[in-house]
Structure 1
Amino acid sequence: MNKNVLFNKLISFTTSVHQVTHDLTQNVKSDSITAVQYKILEYIKVSQSVTSSEISECLHISMPNTSREIKKLNEKNLIEKISDPKDRRKQTIHLSKEGGIMMNEAFATIQTRFQNRIQNASEQDLEEIEQAITILQTKLFYN
């Protein structure tokens, strides 16, 4: 296999992923939060428990900006910070009940849009898509 061809396919694929992600998530955020705050909440929803530094690193936001946005989300009661009992300086961030409700509503809209995209896919197509995602997740996107 030509690795340059494979790389070019990866670039094309990741560009498509970004476009589909944009299409699926367009206008799902509440008007009470910014786009950056939505991305942070989305990351927390998917990851369950995160630190400020993980948010900063994953979303490419500076630590000062991350801290400021975390503070705003905390003031809006959308997240909770839980201190590590062994090291009070270390905190993990979780969605609050209100944040969970907000993100469940957003994800329900995304799920509906996704189901509309795949509504004409055959059972075999769906199985192949699932298998492809599993392979990508285990072989390429692992941590």
Structure 2
Amino acid sequence: MDRKALFQKFVAFTTAVHQTTHEMTKDVKSDAVTPMQYGILEYIAVSEPVTLSQISDCLHISMPNASRELKKLGDKRLCEKVTVAEDRRKQYIRLTEEGKALMNEAFARIEARFLHRLRHASEEELTQIDSAIDVLQAKVFDMDDD
């Protein structure tokens, strides 16, 4: 296997993922939040509970900016901080019921666009896509192996 060619293919793939993500998520964001706030809510929704430093690191925003945006989201009752019982200095951030409802609505619209793109895929192709996602998740995107 030519690993350099594989890497070039991976770069093209991740670029396509970013472009497709943008296309599938445009116009699903609520008017109640900014694009950055939506990104934070989306990250919390798929990864909760999370810490402020995880949000800052994953979304490439400074800790002060992440903290300021979380305060705004808290004021809008879309997320909340929860103190960890075992370590009272540590706080997790999670969605409130209102935040979950907002994200469920956004994910439903994204799901409809996703299913529309797959409307002509055969059962065999859907199984291949499912397996490919599993392999990518386990071998490329899983950060626990670092």
Q: For this structure pair, what is the TM-score category when the shorter chain's length is used for normalisation?
A: over 0.9
> Which residue number corresponds to residue 4 of structure 2?
4
Instruction: Report the 3-state secondary structure (helix = DSSP H, G, I; strand = E; otherwise coil) of the residue aligned with 1:140.
Output: helix
Read off the aligned partner of 2:134 and give its amino acid letter: T
List, as ranges, runs of 4+ consecutive aligned residues in structure 1 with deviation greater than 2 Å.
85-89
> Which residue number corresponds to residue 103 of structure 1?
103
How far does residue 139 in structure 1 lie from its aligned partner after superposition? 1.1
Write out per-residue CA displacement over residues 70-95 of structure 1, whole angstroms, 9 at most, x where no aligned residue.
00000000001101123322110000
Write out per-residue CA displacement over residues 84-125 of structure 1, whole angstroms, 9 at most, x where no aligned residue.
123322110000000000000000000000000000001111
Write out per-residue CA displacement over residues 38-96 of structure 1, whole angstroms, 9 at most, x where no aligned residue.
00000000012000000000000000100000000000000011011233221100000
> Which residue number corresponds to residue 141 of structure 1?
141
1:76 counterpart = 2:76: yes
Tell me the matched-pair count: 143
Q: Distance in 2 between matches of 1:125 and 1:24?
A: 21
Gaps of 5+ in 1: none
Read off the aligned partner of 2:13 and give its amino acid letter: F
How far does residue 140 in structure 1 lie from its aligned partner after superposition? 1.1
> Which residue number corresponds to residue 31 of structure 1?
31
RMSD between superposed Cα atoms in Å: 0.7
Q: Distance in 1 between matches of 2:138 and 2:87?
A: 33
> Which residue number corresponds to residue 129 of structure 1?
129
Read off the aligned partner of 1:24 and give its amino acid letter: M
> Which residue number corresponds to residue 116 of structure 1?
116
Q: Distance in 1 between matches of 2:142 and 2:67?
A: 27
TM-score in terms of structure 2 length: 0.96
Q: Distance in 1 between matches of 2:80 and 2:130?
A: 33
Match runs of 1:20-99 below 5 Å: 20-99=20-99
Q: Distance in 2 between matches of 1:137 and 1:4?
A: 20
